[in-house]
Structure 1
Amino acid sequence: MLSWPYKLSGRASRWTADTRGGVALTFAIALIPMALATLGVLQYAMIIATRAKLNAIADAAALQAVSNVAMLTYVNSGTTGQSQAQAMFNTQAAQVSGVTITTLNVSVVNNAASTGAAASLTATVSYVAKIPSLVPGLIGSAFTTVGGTSTANSSLPAYANFYLLLDDSPSMGIGAMPSDITAMQNANNGCAFACHSPNAYNGTYPGYTLPSVPGTQLRIDALRNATAQLISTAMNQQTIPNQFGIGLYTFDNTVTTVSPLTTNLATVQAANAAIQLPTTDLGTQIGDAIDWLSRKVVTTNSGNGTKSSPFEFVFLVTDGVEDQAFNFTPGNYDTLSNPYGSWYGTPYSGYLNSAACTSLKNKGVTVAVLYTNYNPLSDSRYTNMVQPFASNIMPALQACASPNFFFQADNASDINTAMQQMFALALQKTAHLTN
C-alpha cells in the first residue's frame, strides 16, 4: 500500500499536467479582440452601405435643383431650386435607418454665359451624417461619421435659330420608298428618275406638272412631312416663350424663302405645307444655295444661347447632286469638279463643293446635313448623270457637315427619323452629374 504522501503527490502531478483549463482561459481572452474585430467589420460595412444610400440621395437632390422645372422657374422668376433640393434630401435621408444628418449644405450657382456656351446652373449638395456605433468607445468612434458631395450642372434653356435649307429640285421627285420607285418605273416604261407621268418623254416634258403616279409617295412628299414633324417637335420642346426661331428655304438653281426666320412656328408650319416640286427643270446649285444663306441670312456669328445671342443651326437636306444643265445661274460655287456627269457629251452634273460650308462654320454655326442618298438605278438619267461621281457625293456632304452632324436616309421613314435626330442632337443640354 502506498503511503498518503505519495498519493497526494501523484494527484498533484496529474492536476498540473491537465492543460484544458488553460486553453479555455486563453480562448476566452482571445475572443474579446476577435469579437471587436468582427463588430468593426460589420460597422465598416454598415458605413459603406449607408454612405452609398446617402450619396444616391445627394445625387437626386442635386439633379432636382437643375431639373427642367427648376430651370424654368429660375428663368421666369430668378428663384433657384435650393429649398426643394434641401427638402428632398432631408425627406429621403430620414428614411435611412439610424442616420442623423449633422450638416447639410445645398448651393445653386448661376454660371454666366460665355462664348460657345449658354448660361448654366450648378447645384452642389454636401452632407455629414452620424450612424450608431456597434463598437463602443475609441474603436467605434472612428466609424460613426460619413460625408459626401454631389454636383450637377445644366444649361439654362437655350435660345436657338434653325435655318432649314431644303432641296426641292426635280431629282427629289424620285420615289420615297423602293416600292414607289418600282411603281413609277412600271408607269413610265422603266423610267424612275425625274419622270412622273406616262407623258414624260414627249417634248413638253409634262412630268413636272403631273408629278405623281397614283399610290406613290415622292421624296419631296417625305421631306415635307418630316419637316412638319420637326416643326411640331420644336413647338412642343419649347420651355420658354419664343425659344426657337425657324426659317424655311428651298433651293434648286436659286433659293426661295418659304418662310423667313420667325418664332411664330405656326406660320412656318403653314408655309411648309405648300412646298412642291418645280414645274420646270431649274437645275440644282447646292453650293451656291449654302453660300447665299451665309451671305444673305445667317450673317452673324452663332451666339451663346441667350435671347439676344441665340445658337445658330443650318439644316441642309439634299441628295447631294449639282445639276447645271438648265437655267444655270452663275455663282461662287458653280464649277463642276471632275468626275462629273454628262448628257449627250455636255458636262451636266456633279457633287457639292464642300468649301461652300466653310463660311457658316467659321461663324460658329452648326451645319447639320441630311443626305437623302441616291439609290443606283438602271435608268440612263442615273447612269449618265450621277453614276460617274456617285462615290464622291457622300464624302463631300460629310465634309460640309459639322462634327457628328452628318446623317443619311434612304426612305421616307429614315428621313423623318434623321430630322428628329438632328433636332435632338442640337438640343442636348440636359442635366448631368459632373462628379
Structure 2
Amino acid sequence: MSSVFALVDCNNFYASCERLFRPDLAGRPIVVLSNNDGCIVARSAEAKALGIKMGVPVYKVERYLQQHDVAVFSSNYALYADMSARVMSILEELAPRVEIYSIDEAFLDLTGIDSIQSLDAFGTRIRQQVGQHTGIRVCVGIAPSKTLAKLANHAAKQYPATGGVVDLTNPERQRRLLALVPVSEVWGVGRRLRQRLETDGIRTALDLASANPKSIRQQYSVILERTVRELNGESCLSLEEITPVKQQIICSRSFGQRITGYQEMREAICAYASRAAEKLRQEQRIAKRLSIFLRTNRFNAAEPQYMPSPSAELPIPTDDTRELVATAVKLLRACWKDGFRYMKAGVMLTDFYETGTFQPDLFNKGAEHPRSKALMAVMDTINQSGHGHVFLAGQGINQVWKMQRRSLSPAYTTRWQDIPVVK
C-alpha cells in the first residue's frame, strides 16, 4: 500500500491566536512582535496585504502601523503553546499517526484512509473539526511524500479556490503544480542552494523533479537527491512520531534594559537556570554539564566588549533546580566583571543521561538532596497548575532586567483570572 501524508498548517497562527478571543479585531490587521518587542515575527493576512514585511524592526514602521490601525501584540508564548496543544490533540484523534513538526504544523499518516473516505473529504473534515473545536483555521496538503505534502499545503494557502485542501496524490496534478512553484519553495532548498540551482537552469520545482537523481547526488548532495525522489512521489522521509531526545537545553533572553550590576545578572542567571531545569525534567533527563554565557552588544563598537562562556561538570548528573542554580551562580561569580553593559545572558545544559543510568566513580558517591525528586515534582505541579508560582528567592521579585512585553495579551487559556467572561 502506497504511503499518503497530510501536512496540516495553522493559518497565521500567532495572529490567529490573538484574534481568537478578540472578536472586535475581525478584519483588522494584526502583527506580533519578537522578544523585547523588537521585530515583527507574525502577521495576519490583512497585515500582509498592507505590505508589512517579516523581521522588520517595529520602530521603523511604527508610524505606518498607526496610520493603518494595525493591532500590535507582544509574543504570548503561553497562549500559543496551549492553543497548539489543543490543535494537535484533535489531529491525534483524527489520524492513526501524527508527527508534530512545529508549533503550528503537523504531518499525518493517511495511508488507507481513501478506502473509507475520499482524501479531499477527509481534509475538509480536518479543517472543519479543528475550526469548530479551537477556532483556528488550518490548510491541508495531501500527497504520497512529505515534500509533496508541503507543496500541496503551500498551494492550499495560495489559491482560495482550493477551499484550503489540496490532494496531490494524482501524478498529473503533481506535475501541474510543480511547474507553477519556484524551486525556492521546495522544502529544504535555502537561499544559497536556490542560487546554485538557478545558475544550473533549475528554476521550478518541476525542473528539480525532472533532474537525474544520481547526477543531483554527485553535483549537490544525497539530501537533495532524496528531495528529487520525494518530488516524484517516492516516500523517503518517514513519519517521526517520537520527538528526538534533545542533545542540549538553552535558556536565554535579551534583557529589557542593559545590565551593569552583579545582583541583576545573578537574578537573571538564576531564573534561566531554573527554567532550564524545568525543561530538563520535561525531557525526563538529568544533565552532567552546565554552561553560562554573558554578552555585551557586539554591534556597538563604542562600548567595551566582554563575552565569557564558562562551563562546569557536575559531580553527578541531576535535574534538581537547586543544584543547577548553585552551579550557575558559581560560574557567574568566577567570570563576572564590572564596567560592562550586558545585553544578553543564558544557561546551557548538556551531556544528558536517563535517570538511574549514570554510574559514578568509586570515590564519588554523589550528594543528591534527600527527597529531591519529590520536591521538584511538587514545584512543577504547582507551576503548571495555573494557581500559583513557586521559585527560588535568587531569581528576584521585581526583575527590572526582564524582557519587555508592553503589548502582552492575557493568558486566556492558562490563567484562571484571565479567562474571558461572557456577559
**TM-score w.r.t. length of structure 1:** 0.23
User: Which structure has the greater CA radius of gyration?
Assistant: 1
**TM-score w.r.t. length of structure 2:** 0.23
